[in-house]
Structure 1
Amino acid sequence: MKNYLVSGAVLLALPVTAWAQGPVSGTVTDARTGTPLPGATILLDGAASAATDAAGAFTLPAVPAGSHELRITFLGYEPLTQRLQGQPTEQRLTPRLQPGGVLTGEALVTASRANDRTATAYTNLSRQDLQKRNFGQDLPYLLDQTPSVVVNSDAGAGVGYTDIRIRGTNNVGINMTINGVPLNDAESHGSFLVNLPDLASSVSSIQVQRGVGTSQNGGAAFGASLNISTLDNRLEPYAETQNTFGSFNTWRNNVQFGTGLLGGHFTVDGRLSRVSSDGYVNRGASDLKSYYLSAGYQGKNTLVKFITFSGREKTYQSWNGVPEPALTGNRALLQQYADNYALMDGDVERALREGRRYSYYTYDNQTDNYQQNHYQLHLSQGLGADWNLGAALHLTRGFGYYENYEPGQTLSDYGLANVIVGADTIRETNLISRKWLDNYFYGGTFALNYQPREGKLQATLGGAANQFTNDHYGEIIWAQYASNGSIRQRYYFNDALKTDYNAYARATWQVLPKLGVYGDVQVRHIRYNIDGVEDDQNDVTTRARYTFLNPKAGATFSLSANQQLYASFAVAQREPVRSDFTDRPAGEPQPTSERLDDFEGGYRFTQPSGSLLGPNTTLRLEANYFYMRYRNQLVATGQLNDVGSPLRTNVGRSYRTGLELTGFASANDKLSLSSTLTLSRNRVEDFREIVLDSNYSPIVAAETRSSTISYSPSVVSAHTLEGQPLQGLRLALLYKTVSRQYLDNSASEDRRIKPYQVLDFRLRYAIRPSFVKEIELGLLVNNVLNRRYEANGYTYGNLDATGQRLNFNFYFPQATRNFLASIGVKF
């Protein structure tokens, strides 16, 4: 904290230029509902001068004296034009836009988004918010400063496989949608954003909902929801390129273009991207490519948009992590790891030499290779003055494999005969395998919205029907002793079929001028079939059926025009993931579905500029309390399966409870501070710890009344201090703290992730020469204080012959001080 205060003082001491002209600021809202409109364009005398942020706020730092025309535009609303007189003191405006003009794709997005009337905890990020954070790292790193968020990277530098946790829940419990279409894998529930590199460059807005949130398409949210939108239309033509280079030979290059509105009806937008990095961890390289293309037609009451985007990733496998004694340099303990986990000859010396950057694999093509193609067709249709319909058809095609060198494998495990050479029988071989996924996900979504221009009641009826098919199989592409096999010998195969139907109805009703109520109910039905054998030759045939009813209700009360109280209750239920069925240890019962009862309550305060702290200040505060009560929650044991996914087990009762505090203050757009602090308690009740004995049979090692849920820090904070000492130059310090986490549910100090604090520095400098619209130079220095820390890990353990417990901890070290430098050009 001392480092944070010192660094903050340095930034506060930066010179602030005095402007002779007076600033103009305000918040743009929907005239019907009062909801802020992020991303609205502010034009002064015909030139685009600003855009509203996630809270709908904007600032024009220096408006010269004299008469000016201020014009505000937002797709789907009538433009607002008014005369403005420049003056030395700040002017505060409250523009309210009337719905009208052309219909927008927001009919789909708003159907699943929260607002001030839905009594839930959420954070909005606009295109501008994402752009200033985006240096080519994966999307979770752009959300690192939002409440209750913890991010980590397998390769250590934010490129390649990354993960995000919100309130201690990883992406298996975070529901992600792109334009209302589910992104989570139907079997694993995970969202692998490595398959969509540089997606953030095409995103127009993101809403992060914490807790259960509103009913959405896709699986139930057990920690949060990420609602991603790429549907907005940019009305003016543009061409841009962003280029980044940084530590560990990290590159990001992209080109983007858009036609603007052609003939008053048509738009075309596109992007090509490449991201590559050697990674902080040795042999943790990534080679990622993606594209985005959309074409749309819009009329007064109709919008049709076709979107396709794709990503292809090749990442060297770094999901094994680093053994704990390689971090500490303990040779004797590392030898124990080698004896128990069959490290190859020389691995002990290599691990000691490479230290925290050690990577287990040395085979030159130990890579994960996957491609994911997305196709979406969206329709938004106005149905009179008060109704509109949003609908979408979608197809996601995914295919790929990971390649693995496997020494000393038993031939019979792969369906191969022993090799007889003279009097010798060869029963083992070294081989190279590929494990494949080949899948299709397709379906449709809809949302019928009732949104009268003047009315107390707003309502949505929506739902989706989706189907997922997935083939899992393994091939041998090389073997030292091929026996009776052939190239691409298939040694296992199973297929999966999953159907998911859901429907929901939601309404908000302004009962009194200050009191509003909210109701939401979702019905969801799932059928899941698996047929065939897994790589260990076990039959994984599964038949599972689930029907869930998930109600939600809430209320909001306005204490004043800028103060609001809210409270809500929501139920979420969801099915187990594939690995819960296929990887459960022998003797473990069949996994059961989970239930979450989520209680939320909070207070919001928004103080416009010029009222409380002075004529050029803005203040926003929010406090949110949550109590998330689980039944049969599936929690991580700390162990991983053979492809790096966490193994989980049902626990009877568990809960998460805590307080989220957020605040934002700005002074005339020259200095701002945003902070968030989460204090939480995360407990498993009546916990039974299961370990393997010396014969690798599961036994109960301990029983406790209450224990801490794994990977759930009790304190998480994030702070961003940003200043603009010169026109176009913005400097920021970003400080993140995460308290202790445990690798399993035993709360053992022998199996934990140490607390850490990280300070980053960001610079953005934009100039507007005559030959291009804008050139922006950027610099991001990560981990300025050069801290050595680990943000993720896992553990194995068993009892030896004497009954003593052996612990084997593996960690994912994050990069020490490193940088990313960028240059962006807008034509």
Structure 2
Amino acid sequence: MRKTLLLLLFSIFTIGITYAQESGKQITGKLLDAQTKEPLIGATVTIKGTTKAAAVSLDGSFKIKVPADGTTTLLFSYIGYVSKEQVVSESNLGTITLDPTSASVKEVVITANSSLAIDRRTPIAATSVGKVYIEEKGAGAEFPELLKAAPGVMTSKGGGGYGDSRVSIRGFSSNNVALLINGIPVNDVEAGKIYWNDWAGLADVTASMQVQRGLGASKVAVPSLGGTINITTRSTELEEGGTVSQSIGSYNSFKTVLSYATGLTSKGWASSFLLSRSTGDGYTPGLYYTGYSYFANISKVLSPSQTLSFNFMGASQNHGQRYTFNTINTYRTSPLGIRYNSDYGYLNGELYSAEQNYYNKPLASINHNWQINETSSLSTQVYASYGTGAARYLSGTNVNLTPGNSQGVPRTGDIYSPIDFDAITKANLANADGTASRYLLNSVNDHKQYGILSSYKKKLGDIDLLAGVDGRYYEGEHYNQIQDLLGGSYIIDTRINTATGPSGNINNPNAHIGNGGRFNNDYRYEIASEGVYLQGEYVKDDLSAFLSVAGNNTSNRRVDYFNYLNSDPNQTSKWVSFLGYQAKGGANYNIDSHSNIFANIGYIQRAPLVGSVFLNKKNDLNPNAKPEKLLSYELGYGFRSSMFSANVNLYRSSYKDRAKVTSSTTPNDDGTFDAINISGINELHQGVEVDAKLRPIKDVTLSGSLSVGDFHYTSNTGPAQVTSTSGKTTTQDALLLKGLKIGEFGTANTTAQTTAALGLDVQVLPQIKIGANYNYYARYYASYDPTKITTTQQTKAGDFTNYQLPNFSTVDLNIVYRFKFAGLDAAFIGNVYNLLNTEYVADGFETSLPTTAAGYNFVARTNNLGVWYGSPRTYTTTFKINF
């Protein structure tokens, strides 16, 4: 009996000790990326000085039990991020953020980017990727491809040239998608497009990318319509250090990156620099490239509340391009198969592309951030950009590059062989009068752009007020220039009879133009925009809401040096101005710790693009030019838990009075194309988007997305003006677009209306991670020439439907191994794109539309379809050292 009592007492004592050891305070909180505000899934929370740790869940939350008495310090760590320590003072630590390794806990802020959306607060649909994702998934990829897993986003390499990728969001092409770098708008001012080759290579200094679908949260007076891509570059580090990396990949691709940061001095100065060089052959012959990227930041801490920072960044590049679509049968019968390219050849024994692009667009900015007091702050950016470069291509008489064309260029062998530039030179030398029949032309686009963005923020209780100004000025010089007469001595810039339209230089008619001379056209666009915006945001407990209004005036002017005498006052047009405004608002409500709902609505009126304002290659005003309008609304639901998170969005956007300047699809004898000015285009973009993440166990994360859209034209257009290269303008019937799926005009590309993505990331070992990504595209339609769908040209127009391209999917794979090398942090990263080497049509264009019932035969349309195949399997390996 005594033994039994002793055993019972011992058991109770042991249980008590065990309970005492296990008891304590439970600490909770959330761990997020400091820049993207995304959860750091799988990050480690450790009690300092012990081995006890907890992992961060899908929603960023964590729970860990600490001793009840005594001071406890928690250590937060995640691969690729700066670790942080925090002393436990309360049971709920709230939100804790970690900075990527490119920044430090006490970083010098380059700019306060107020245009970023915050999860479960900003009522818009957004997807963010951080520096670690970019580093692990992005080697060898271009900026748009980093976003292809986001719902509603479609990317393509286009013709395959370096930096020629494109992106569309919810069926809106890049001229309706804003690109902001540190809050600065960098789209092409004239066409609205995003030219990614201007920023190729800057992924190495990108701290985060966020794509906002729909109205977005950007604080600029001139908004985007389809979505916004926010790129935030890294901040200047507190401590000295740098990185060296070398990438090697398919088709002789090489990339070398060197970065260095001085650290913050005792006098408050800090600077960081990056240089990179990229070269390669491209995945089809003739797509060779050389690119240099540069980034510099010099910052000064003026006081505990003020910083001043100077930024300078850009990418200088020269690359071969591919413009010509070829038929599926051409690819099947050519020796190179899907890698065939009809647009390159040899000149003096060297590989030479018939189409090239060279450009350099440095962006400089001075940023001042001032925390005036606890409730107010002022952020100001002054920026300037100077772009120089051109599209270079073969021009002249009979320059059709389609293989086998009787009016085509000479080739070195059969119809699939390279272009024989030496034969062109020989033919020019044989011309008795010394003229060049074919030559290389530079279509030059030099520009100067200046701007200021300044925002004042004031906190009034639970309301944040934001007011700002957005001023911009742009000059763009455009002219044709002879690059190389290929053995000829000159061309004659003939002044066409004014009865049929102007062409050439009226101030120097019938001029003999040699290498470097300007011909055909020479003009300048000037665009000025002044805008203001005001936003109020209410945040209290589980409710957040905002209301934003903005107004701007956009003025356009054209100066024409060729079509008006220098003495003619009409050589410079009058300023043509359009008023624009926007009003948008939304609210988010966090139902509980797991669920939230949001809604937004907005109306935008935006000035037409400058190319739609003037006609006839002259200063003639387009009477049909009017502001474009967008009405958009959206409803969303989000769910967050430790294991599973998901978002569902429903949206509808009505886009009216769109104007478009495009080109004809049939080239003239000199290789140029007629310009077509179309107005009165009305569209509807609507759909549903779903994205989700699942973390069944600690080291495994599954992700996925699905987007089903309906993008179509809601009416026929107004009359279209067709301007020949000689300057003669004719008016044709309205385009019969009503009910057709939306496609870009001419040879520009369309977007898949159903997309899906799956992702898997596995932390195999603490140092090794493996990832795989699957992307699927369906209901993808070929582009076409809409100017052929009129009552006079399309005899069976009512029967025309979009040609649907085959559905396709691709799989990408990456592996990351992090280790110590000579005592330094190092990483080996391997990426394989299109792992299964899938052959798929990435872009298609109907070169001729059917005009009879027989022409609607599917086989006949397929045989006439011009396509570009997607990239075959490629790989990139990267070795990186941090010092």
TM-score tier after normalising by the smaller chain length = 0.7 to 0.9
| Superposition deviation, residue 541 in structure 1 | 6.2
Write out aligned runs for 1:654-803 (5 A). 654-667=683-696, 669-687=698-716, 703=736, 705-710=738-743, 711-742=750-781, 743-744=783-784, 751-769=803-821, 771-797=822-848
Are 1:811 and 2:867 matched, yes or no?
Answer: yes
Equivalence for 2:609: 577
Counterpart residue type for residue 734 of structure 1: N
Counterpart residue type for residue 440 of structure 1: K
Equivalence for 2:626: 592
| Greater fraction strand | 1
Counterpart residue type for residue 289 of structure 2: S
| Secondary structure at 2:361 match in 1 | strand
Distance verdict in 2 for CA 1:507–1:273, change over 3 Å: same
| Secondary structure at 1:788 match in 2 | coil
**Alpha carbons 2:114, 2:218 under 8 Å: kept:** no
| Secondary structure at 1:108 match in 2 | coil
Matches of 2:598 and 2:562, distance apart in 1? 49
**Alpha carbons 1:43, 1:71 under 8 Å: kept:** yes
Distance verdict in 2 for CA 1:646–1:755, change over 3 Å: farther
| Superposition deviation, residue 361 in structure 1 | 3.5
| Superposition deviation, residue 533 in structure 1 | 6.6
Which stretch shifts more, 576-585 or 641-650?
641-650
**Alpha carbons 2:677, 2:721 under 8 Å: kept:** no
Matches of 2:647 and 2:158, distance apart in 1? 33
Matches of 2:238 and 2:649, distance apart in 1? 38
| Superposition deviation, residue 600 in structure 1 | 0.8
TM-score (norm 2): 0.74
Matches of 1:106 and 1:53, distance apart in 2? 29
Are 1:150 and 2:173 matched, yes or no?
Answer: no
Matches of 1:399 and 1:690, distance apart in 2? 35
Distance verdict in 2 for CA 1:265–1:667, change over 3 Å: farther
Counterpart residue type for residue 216 of structure 1: K
| Superposition deviation, residue 295 in structure 1 | 1.2
| Secondary structure at 1:194 match in 2 | helix
Which stretch shifts more, 242-251 or 35-44?
35-44
Matches of 2:292 and 2:134, distance apart in 1? 20
| Secondary structure at 2:344 match in 1 | coil
Write out aligned runs for 1:19-34 (5 A). 27-28=30-31
Runs of 5+ unmatched residues, structure 1: 1-22, 85-90, 330-350, 411-420, 610-617
Write out aligned runs for 1:480-499 (5 A). 480-482=488-490, 484-491=512-519, 492-499=521-528
Show CA shifts across 1:177-224 (max 9, x none). 111111111112112121222111101122211012124337421211
Equivalence for 1:133: 137
| Secondary structure at 2:178 match in 1 | strand
Distance verdict in 2 for CA 1:547–1:60, change over 3 Å: same
Show CA shifts across 1:423-463 (max 9, x none). 988987222222222211112111111247xx421121122
Matches of 2:827 and 2:63, distance apart in 1? 19
**Alpha carbons 2:220, 2:533 under 8 Å: kept:** no
Matches of 2:378 and 2:141, distance apart in 1? 36
Equivalence for 2:746: none
| Superposition deviation, residue 551 in structure 1 | 0.2
Matches of 2:482 and 2:869, distance apart in 1? 32
Show CA shifts across 1:147-192 (max 9, x none). 2111111353x84311111112222111111111111111121121
| Secondary structure at 1:768 match in 2 | strand
**Alpha carbons 1:255, 1:273 under 8 Å: kept:** yes
Counterpart residue type for residue 496 of structure 1: Y
Distance verdict in 2 for CA 1:219–1:248, change over 3 Å: farther
| Secondary structure at 1:197 match in 2 | coil
| Superposition deviation, residue 316 in structure 1 | 0.8
Equivalence for 1:619: 644
| Superposition deviation, residue 471 in structure 1 | 0.9
Among 595, 598, 603, the residue aligned to 2:637: 603
Write out aligned runs for 1:84-99 (5 A). 94-96=94-96
Distance verdict in 2 for CA 1:185–1:768, change over 3 Å: same
Counterpart residue type for residue 198 of structure 1: G
Matches of 2:376 and 2:261, distance apart in 1? 30
Counterpart residue type for residue 389 of structure 2: G
Write out aligned runs for 1:498-513 (5 A). 498-510=527-539, 513=541
| Secondary structure at 2:393 match in 1 | strand
TM-score (norm 1): 0.79
Distance verdict in 2 for CA 1:544–1:319, change over 3 Å: farther
Equivalence for 1:630: 655
| Superposition deviation, residue 679 in structure 1 | 1.0
Identical positions, percent: 17
Which stretch shifts more, 558-567 or 313-322?
313-322
Matches of 1:301 and 1:720, distance apart in 2? 43
| Superposition deviation, residue 539 in structure 1 | 9.7
Among 451, 476, 493, the residue aligned to 1:443: 451
Equivalence for 1:416: none
Distance verdict in 2 for CA 1:56–1:732, change over 3 Å: same
Are 1:361 and 2:344 matched, yes or no?
Answer: yes
| Superposition deviation, residue 780 in structure 1 | 1.2
Write out aligned runs for 1:161-180 (5 A). 161-180=164-183
| Superposition deviation, residue 51 in structure 1 | 15
Show CA shifts across 1:55-82 (max 9, x none). 8838899x9xx997325699xx998622
Counterpart residue type for residue 813 of structure 1: Y
Distance verdict in 2 for CA 1:488–1:464, change over 3 Å: same
Write out aligned runs for 1:321-340 (5 A). 321-329=325-333
| Secondary structure at 1:686 match in 2 | coil
Equivalence for 1:555: 587
Distance verdict in 2 for CA 1:51–1:787, change over 3 Å: farther
Counterpart residue type for residue 443 of structure 2: K
| Secondary structure at 1:128 match in 2 | helix
Which stretch shifts more, 319-328 or 757-766?
319-328
Distance verdict in 2 for CA 1:619–1:266, change over 3 Å: farther
Equivalence for 2:363: 374
Matches of 1:37 and 1:355, distance apart in 2? 41
Among 199, 203, 208, the residue aligned to 2:211: 208
**Alpha carbons 1:28, 1:52 under 8 Å: kept:** no
| Secondary structure at 2:129 match in 1 | strand
Counterpart residue type for residue 472 of structure 2: N
**Alpha carbons 2:33, 2:40 under 8 Å: kept:** no
Matches of 2:516 and 2:814, distance apart in 1? 49
| Secondary structure at 1:204 match in 2 | strand
Equivalence for 2:251: 248
Distance verdict in 2 for CA 1:655–1:635, change over 3 Å: farther
Counterpart residue type for residue 621 of structure 1: A
| Secondary structure at 1:129 match in 2 | helix
Paired residues, what number?
744
| Superposition deviation, residue 106 in structure 1 | 7.4
Matches of 1:224 and 1:211, distance apart in 2? 5
Equivalence for 1:334: none
Equivalence for 1:189: 192
Matches of 2:147 and 2:755, distance apart in 1? 14
Counterpart residue type for residue 648 of structure 2: A
- What is the aligned-residue RMSD (CA, Å)? 4.6
**Alpha carbons 2:287, 2:353 under 8 Å: kept:** no
| Superposition deviation, residue 505 in structure 1 | 0.9
Matches of 2:456 and 2:57, distance apart in 1? 25
Are 1:238 and 2:218 matched, yes or no?
Answer: no
| Superposition deviation, residue 371 in structure 1 | 0.9
**Alpha carbons 1:139, 1:193 under 8 Å: kept:** yes
| Superposition deviation, residue 124 in structure 1 | 2.2
Distance verdict in 2 for CA 1:95–1:181, change over 3 Å: closer
Counterpart residue type for residue 673 of structure 1: L
| Superposition deviation, residue 591 in structure 1 | 4.1
Equivalence for 2:225: 222
Matches of 2:49 and 2:527, distance apart in 1? 53
Matches of 1:259 and 1:52, distance apart in 2? 34
Equivalence for 2:551: 523
Distance verdict in 2 for CA 1:529–1:174, change over 3 Å: same
